[in-house]
Amino acid sequence: MTHTLTLPRSVEWKETFISLLDQQLLPNTVEYIKLHTLQDVWDAIVTLKVRGAPAIGITAAFGLALSLQNYDVQTIEEFKKKLHADKEFLASSRPTAVNLFWALERVVNSINNAISINEAKTLVIHEAIQIQAEDEATCYRIGDYALSLFNKHDRVMTICNAGSIATAYYGTALAPFHISKERDIPLKVFACETRPVLQGSRLTAWELQKSGVDVTLITDSMAAHTIKTKGINAIIVGADRIAANGDTANKIGTYGLALLAKAFNIPFYVAAPKSTFDLSIASGAEIPIEERSAKEITHIGDVQVAPDNISVYNPAFDVTPSEFITAIITEHGIIHSPSVDTIKLVLN
């Protein structure tokens, strides 16, 4: 028997506005907000109303398509200048996920040969829609490849949310679980809650539960004990940026899970599209790591859970060295033992 999936979508292009699932309100409230301006889009990315590398890129691309509707320009040169300025503004929203810069570049480059303002407007909107459509197809392929690495009844651990709402649809690390449901293949997922922003409990647990996947929530500090006592077979995570040698930035806590996988001798998989690779940087040392506000740690909601004036370190991501990654699963195939050579071989 097969099930038809109806997964939540995080972002939709509505011509005069962007409809966005406000991920900060989940899981208690499912609300779609309307973004009307470039500033709305920037704010939504910075405040994590939309988050997850591919979804950030898609939203930013639509942000450019939205903004150009108010350009007061007479020539194509002026149009290009304005688009470039808008791109720079959106690029300042978050530093780590490379999909943001990749999508913005792609949209801006789509008008390189445009000779009229009308043509340029059409091209930008078309490119943004295309980026979203391609990401959906890409995620399905990633899910299909990832599922081939699991056996029936496997118990798999994940962190953060690399699901449908972090992408166009299906997700990356969560795609195999959604697809397993479609194909009636039983898998059991253990989701780490993902302090401090709780993407694991608020988003992953919600998304997998909605699609009927067998999911169990644990706190991040329970990972080692859970791997041991629940017989975890594999760990799978998403990615925000992958360097040429395979070093991978992902949500804070990922590196620790990779070390645990090594200690327990279980595979550690990264699932990510080609757009998450940054082949311009040699290693993870060059990946900028976002540091977010202390309040994410000192408060839970509006309740203060740390002393006044405590000093706080809040990196949002960490970098897992490629030597701890069993394989990177892409839409082009599975990169076993990621390195400069194996990555080139699969991505080219």
Q: Which of 240, 247, 278, 318 is catalytic?
A: 240
Considering only 7, 53, 198, 327, the residue that binds ligand MRU (CB under 6 A) is 53
The span from the CA of 165 to the CA of 9, in Å, is 6
DSSP, residue by residue, 160-199: S--BGGGSSSSBSTTHHHHHHHHTT---EEEEE--TTTTI
Enumerate residues 148-167 that contact ligand MRU by CB under 6 A. 160, 162, 166-167
Does the footprint of ligand MRU cover residue 26 (CB under 6 A)? no
The span from the CA of 167 to the CA of 11, in Å, is 9
Considering only 238, 246, 284, 338, the residue that binds ligand MRU (CB under 6 A) is 238
Closest to ligand MRU by CB, 63 or 238: 238
Considering only 10, 18, 54, 103, the residue that binds ligand MRU (CB under 6 A) is 54
Enumerate residues 80-139 that contact ligand MRU by CB under 6 A. 97
Query: How many residues contact ligand MRU, by CB under 6 A?
Result: 18
Does the footprint of ligand MRU cover residue 51 (CB under 6 A)? yes
Residue whose CB is nearest to ligand MRU in the complex, by number: 238
List binding-site positions for substrate. 51-53, 94, 199, 250-251
Considering only 226, 250, 322, 326, the residue that binds ligand MRU (CB under 6 A) is 250
Q: Are 264 and 302 in contact (CB under 8 A)?
A: no
Which segment (4-12, 45-53, 61-69, 118-126) binds ligand MRU by CB under 6 A?
A: 45-53
Q: Among this protein's residues, is 240 annotated catalytic?
A: yes
Minimum CB–partner distance for residue 57 and ligand MRU (Å): 10
Enumerate residues 268-297 that contact ligand MRU by CB under 6 A. none
Angle CA(45)–CA(85)–CA(94) in degrees, nearest 5? 25
Short-list 346, 195, 342, 336, CA closest to 269:
336
Does the footprint of ligand MRU cover residue 202 (CB under 6 A)? no
Does the footprint of ligand MRU cover residue 328 (CB under 6 A)? no
Number of C-beta neighbours around residue 265 at 10 A? 6
Does the footprint of ligand MRU cover residue 10 (CB under 6 A)? no
Minimum CB–partner distance for residue 9 and ligand MRU (Å): 14
The span from the CA of 60 to the CA of 65, in Å, is 9
The span from the CA of 329 to the CA of 272, in Å, is 6
170 φ, ψ (degrees, to nearest 5):
70, -45
Minimum CB–partner distance for residue 30 and ligand MRU (Å): 18
Minimum CB–partner distance for residue 201 and ligand MRU (Å): 13
Short-list 142, 204, 202, CA closest to 175:
142
The span from the CA of 216 to the CA of 164, in Å, is 18
The span from the CA of 164 to the CA of 139, in Å, is 9
Minimum CB–partner distance for residue 45 and ligand MRU (Å): 9
Whole-number Cα distances in Å, 191 to 142, 175, 215: 19, 14, 7
198: alpha, beta or left? (left if phi > 0; alpha if psi -120 to 50):
left
Considering only 7, 49, 52, 86, the residue that binds ligand MRU (CB under 6 A) is 52
> Annotated active-site positions, please?
240
Binding residues vs ligand MRU (CB under 6 A): 51-54, 97, 160, 162, 166-167, 171-172, 199, 238-240, 250-251, 316
